[in-house]
Amino acid sequence: MEVFTHWRTWDEARAALAGPEIDLDIDVDAVGRAAEAARRWHGDQRRPTGEPYVEHLLEALEVLVSGPRVTDTAVLSAALLHDVVEDTSATLADVEAEFGPVVAELVDWVTKPPAGGAGRQAKRAARAAYLRRLRDAPRDAVLVKLADRASNVQTLDRTAPDFQRRYYAETVTYIIPLAEAHPWFADWYAAWRRSFAHLK
């Protein structure tokens, strides 16, 4: 299973995007504006495993570029911005003002709405509804979600055992079916599933 953890900073990502190994026509300056906005909005946030949150966003970008070789600026920008509405003070209006309606729509599709209640059951129900809604998402939003989840599950073994089992089951139930329409992601998630089959 290929792992996408090479870009820890935007400078590393920018050098790779502009270098000969990637060899794609990507608007690096436009993607860089999204990376800067994501860094600004997320600030000093950390992942549950302790790394700077921006590393997750750069991993999602790396997945899209190095895996299915996505070049669309809106998709790559949305990958970097996919959690700003959910996890920071940024609003969809802020995203649209800086990056336009296409990027804002993609971010909207992958943003989990707030749970309808405070209890655990309400949160789980809201999460399941969000994941089911992704079946109706446009292709580009699905690409963002698949890259987001790939970033999170590629190192699932670094998380608590109970979380590993829950997240594995959720990924198999909701995310892998989304990958079936995207050959590179279908293959990657099949390899991932084999690597983490002990979590069944």
- Measured CA to CA, the distance from residue 128 to residue 79 in angstroms comes to 21
Burial bucket for residue 89 (CB in 10 Å: 0-12, 13-18, 19+): exposed
Burial bucket for residue 142 (CB in 10 Å: 0-12, 13-18, 19+): buried
Nearest C-alpha neighbor of 61 from the set 3, 144, 178: 144
Residue from 27, 72, 87, 94 carrying the catalytic annotation: 87
48 Cβ partners below 8 Å, 6+ apart?
159
Q: Is-catalytic flag, 87?
A: yes
Q: Is-catalytic flag, 86?
A: yes
Quote the radius of gyration of the chain (alpha carbons, Å): 16
Question: Where are any strands of DSSP class E within 3-131?
Answer: none
Residue from 2, 11, 12, 86 carrying the catalytic annotation: 86
- Tokens 């990657």 belong to 188
Q: Give SS3 for 136.
A: helix
Residues identified as active-site: 86-87
